[in-house]
Amino acid sequence: MSLIQEIVRRVKTGETSAVQMAQEYLGRIDALDGRIHAYLQVLKDRALSAAERIDEKRRRGEPVGRLAGVPIAIKDNMTLEGEATTCGSKILEGYRSTYTATAVKLLEAEDAVILGKTNLDEFAMGSSTENSAYGPTKNPWNPDCVPGGSSGGSAAAVACGMAAAALGSDTGGSIRQPASFCGVVGFKPTYGAVSRFGLVAFASSLDQIGPFAQSAADAALLFDVLSQADPQDSTCQVGGIPGGTISPNGASRPMRIGLPKEYLSHEGASPDILGAVQNAVNVFKKQGAVIKNITLPNTRLALAAYYIIAPSEASANLARFDGIRYGRRVQSLKPAPRHDTGSKVQSQQEESELVELYRRSRTEGFGAEVQRRILLGTFALSHGYYEAYYGKAQAARLAIAQDFDRAFQGVDFILAPTAPTAAFRIGEKANDPVAMYLSDIYTIPVNLAGIAGVSVPCGFSSSGLPIGLQILGPRGSDRKVLAAAGQFEQWTSRQYFSDPKGVK
């Protein structure tokens, strides 16, 4: 039985209570999070009263949900009514959400218990969680290393048993890459399978919410709960696409696996990673899968296209954080009074004071990486450059999506590394944006194409850090991708998973 199934069984039978379960996880947070810093906010009272309500329901003999008493953490770029949502940024200090994100509501409707909000790179821009304005999260396997990012807090919390599962968001790899760095399962659903309502937008055509879990079975259970059409998000109409498993060694035909040469010959990939992925391929082969070499020729365009498209969308999405509608306002300047005579000189002065207010609020409120993206995006969209940059990037995006379409005509899944290296040291890439961007070279094409991808633990580096295998499937193949990850987990006896209770 998987961890979530076990918790639900114990809560439903009364073997344990939801309150006890919440207390157990809150206790681990108390004991460990001083060292790991996975949480920005622990919602102890909220969690305990939610757990109390679930126990009460059970005592009255009412049915409880599919996630009864399961303690879950959410990335702090998703809203929860009445609570802070910081997005890891100073600019949202003091902001309280007035509504709850659909994904979180769906979890709560199944009686999950929300433990708190987890740390992230500011506005989900980064690959290490070092871009959080509230300090980095540490990798539970080695606290000198990053947990990956941007959903590093969620990954670290699940890896060391400070949550049974967590939600993250993945725009270019932010669920899969930290999952691979922390030795847990991280799943990016097909674009549009999970509502983004209440997720603070980074790059709306790429953003997708998904689960972190201790097994593919748990990720699949969470995906079932999360994957509902939502009238509040017009891109979320897919809903529960029927799925199932493809037998690797029987049924109607064997599983067909594609190995993209562009991912396996990349010079940036460490030998540890390539070795672990090759071993994983051998496991599939031994189980009867047919392995085919494939090509995704436009892969080399992915990073460049992403770093035009994502910052362009971000520059528009982040325009609302101006110190007036949202966000912190600089103290020394107040917006100009509106009761004046209406003279031209005065209104010009008001206007320039307002611009100054925006400028200073945004300069003080946003960190360096977010400012870099806003500048890049504003430039790429500006008159005279739009076609040269944004137009070209869209063409590259289409070519990348077509590469995958073509490949999936001949294979069921594609196997690839999740990241070119295992977790790197805190500070190692912090001052080199391009080195940081390269962490996502294997995950970004998946977002550009809108397809489904999971990272499942498949080995360890020479220094004992986890390595993730990416399993990719076409749009709508979410359940099949998760089933394949579950099979891999069984074939390898879960030997590459973190032992959440054993983390130092």
Q: Which residues are catalytic?
A: 75, 150, 174
Residue from 172, 211, 365, 486 in contact with ligand GLN (CB under 6 A)? 172
The answer to the question of residue 450 lying near ligand GLN (CB under 6 A) is no
The answer to the question of residue 173 lying near ligand GLN (CB under 6 A) is yes
Residue from 72, 310, 422, 472 in contact with ligand GLN (CB under 6 A)? 310
Shortest Cβ 395–ligand GLN spacing (Å): 20
Q: Give the footprint of ligand GLN on residues 117-156 (CB under 6 A).
A: 124-127, 150
Q: How crowded is residue 20: how many other Cβ atoms within 10 Å of its Cβ?
A: 14
Residue 116: beta bridge partners?
42, 73
CB 302 within 8 A of CB 400: yes
Count, residues near ligand GLN per rule CB under 6 A = 13
CB 420 within 8 A of CB 269: yes
Binding mask 54-93 for ligand GLN (x = CB under 6 A): ----------------------------------------
- The C-alpha atoms of residue 51 and residue 23 are separated, in whole angstroms, by 9
The answer to the question of residue 102 lying near ligand GLN (CB under 6 A) is no
The distance in angstroms from the start CA to the end CA of the chain is: 25
Shortest Cβ 220–ligand GLN spacing (Å): 21
Considering only CA atoms, which of 69, 155, 70 is closest in space to residue 118? Answer: 155
DSSP letter assigned to residue 388: I
Closer residue to ligand GLN (CB): 124 or 184:
124
The answer to the question of residue 440 lying near ligand GLN (CB under 6 A) is yes
The answer to the question of residue 281 lying near ligand GLN (CB under 6 A) is no
Shortest Cβ 269–ligand GLN spacing (Å): 17
Q: Which stretch binds ligand GLN (CB under 6 A): 13-21, 48-56, 78-86, 164-172?
A: 164-172
Q: Which stretch binds ligand GLN (CB under 6 A): 166-174, 286-294, 319-327, 353-361?
A: 166-174
Task: Examine residue 150 and say whether the peptide bond preceding it is cis (omega within 30 degrees of 0).
Answer: yes
Q: How crowded is residue 472: how many other Cβ atoms within 10 Å of its Cβ?
A: 29
Considering only CA atoms, which of 71, 57, 51 is closest in space to residue 4? Answer: 71
Q: Which two tokens stand for residue 202?
A: 């980074």
Residue 459's Cβ-side half-sphere holds a number of Cα atoms within 13 Å equal to 24
Closer residue to ligand GLN (CB): 79 or 174:
174
CB 69 within 8 A of CB 50: no
The answer to the question of residue 210 lying near ligand GLN (CB under 6 A) is no
Closer residue to ligand GLN (CB): 294 or 441:
441
Closer residue to ligand GLN (CB): 161 or 173:
173
CB 241 within 8 A of CB 476: yes
The answer to the question of residue 171 lying near ligand GLN (CB under 6 A) is yes
Residue from 170, 233, 313, 489 in contact with ligand GLN (CB under 6 A)? 170
Closer residue to ligand GLN (CB): 153 or 323:
153
Q: Which residues contact 129 (CB under 8 A, 6 or more apart)?
A: 119, 120, 121, 136, 137, 146, 147, 148, 149, 150, 152, 153, 178
Tokens 């493809």 belong to: 246
What is the binding site for ligand GLN (CB under 6 A)?
Answer: 124-127, 150, 170-174, 202, 310, 440
